[in-house]
Amino acid sequence: MNREYVVDASVILKWILGDERETDQGKAMQLLHAWVEGNVTISAPALWQFEVGNVLGRVMPEEASEKMGLIMGLNIRSIELTDQICRLCFDWMRTKGVTFYDASYLAVAHDIRAMLVTADERFVKKIGKSDRLCSLKDIDV
């Protein structure tokens, strides 16, 4: 059985921006290759499309449409919000001081029994120890 991962926009953007000088770029590419080879499963809340599109439009407006098309072509499994996912998000907003956006990735990981992989170290620190959360720098695929 394949390992199931949820990725957030910080990881997806590393796949698109392709800057080897970027922190943990190699780890992000290892995860992408493992997915393309069928060794892992990748999912994300539908929100990822809006977050990634926003960054691309701001960072590289001339190439944003092409880059977005490429990443959309990967067919990342998008998970819609449920009542349970929303409850988890609101709980972490209240207890951990994180945004609903960021919490949604972790809530999806809980909901589908996957591991969230993120390059957002501030989020990792705010959440603390969790069996559903892995910093990109620590992933071993």
Instruction: Provide the pLDDT for residue 31.
Output: 96
Q: Taking residues 5-15, report their average pLDDT.
A: 96
pLDDT of residue 20: 65
Residue 79: which of 15, 22, 129, 7 has the closest Cα? Answer: 7
What CA–CA distance (Å, rounded) separates 109 from 133? 8
pTM (two decimals): 0.93
pLDDT confidence bin for 23, thresholds 50/70/90: confident
Nearest Cα neighbor of 68 from 51, 84, 82 is 51
Identify the structural domains of the chain with CATH numbers, from first to last. Answer: 3-138 (3.40.50.1010)
User: Which has the closest alpha carbon to 107: 137, 80, 126?
Assistant: 80
The residues facing 133 across adjacent strands are 116
Distance CA 113, CA 126 (A): 21
Average pLDDT estimate for 94-121: 97
pLDDT score of 141: 84
For residue range 56-71, list pLDDT tens digits in order. 999 999 999 999 999 9
Q: b/e per residue, 67-93, with b = 16+ CB within 10 A? A: bbeebeeeebeebebeeebeebbeebe
Residues in the chain: 141
Q: Please check the confidence at residue 1 and state whether its pLDDT lies above 80.
A: no
